[in-house]
Amino acid sequence: MYEMFIKAGFNSAHNLRGYKGKCENLHGHSWKVEARFEKETLNKIGISIDFNVLKAKLKDILKGLDHVYLNEVSAFKNENPSAENIARFIYMELKRTVQEKGLFLKTVSVWESESSCASYSE
């Protein structure tokens, strides 16, 4: 089994509804996103997939989250744009785009700071 990792990032603001503390207030993050994929086989030139293909797909998803107020993004109208929910949202969007490539999306991790990360997998 081969495992591939890609990273990207975006900047946005949010606040956590119902949270008692500083995160209830509007604030922003420079989010970092890491996606991990698995594939059992390599192609005839010895690679699983071109990293540029994966990066382009992730960046396309992140465009909708970059420099916006996440609470107003349709995916987060009824749930908090927490790191956990953002990781699940990105996972579900990315999973749809890579299945036809024979890849298994293992995990999406979303870092809201250098020391705080949430991951989602199925």
Query: For the segment 63-73, what is each residue's pLDDT rounded down to a tens digit?
Result: 999 999 999 99
d(CA 54, CA 74): 24
CB contact set of 86 (below 8 Å; sequence gap of 6+): 31, 65, 70, 110, 118
Q: Which of 27, 67, 79, 122 is an active site residue?
A: 67
Looking at residues 82-98, what average pLDDT do you find? 95
pLDDT confidence band for 102 (50 / 70 / 90): confident
Residue-wise pLDDT for 34-72, tens only, equals 999 999 999 999 999 999 999 999 999 999 999 999 999
Catalytic-residue membership of 38: no
Catalytic-residue membership of 27: no
Q: Which of 14, 29, 34, 112 is an active site residue?
A: 112
Contact 31, 112 (CB under 8 A): yes
Catalytic-residue membership of 14: no
pLDDT for 101: 77
**Domain span at 32:** 2-120
- DSSP E strand boundaries for the chain: 2-14, 27-39, 104-113, 116-120
Of 36, 33, 42, 45, residue with least CA distance to 98 = 36
Domains of the chain: total? 1
Q: What is the pTM of this model?
A: 0.94
Share of the chain above pLDDT 70, in %: 100
CATH number for the domain including 92?
3.30.479.10
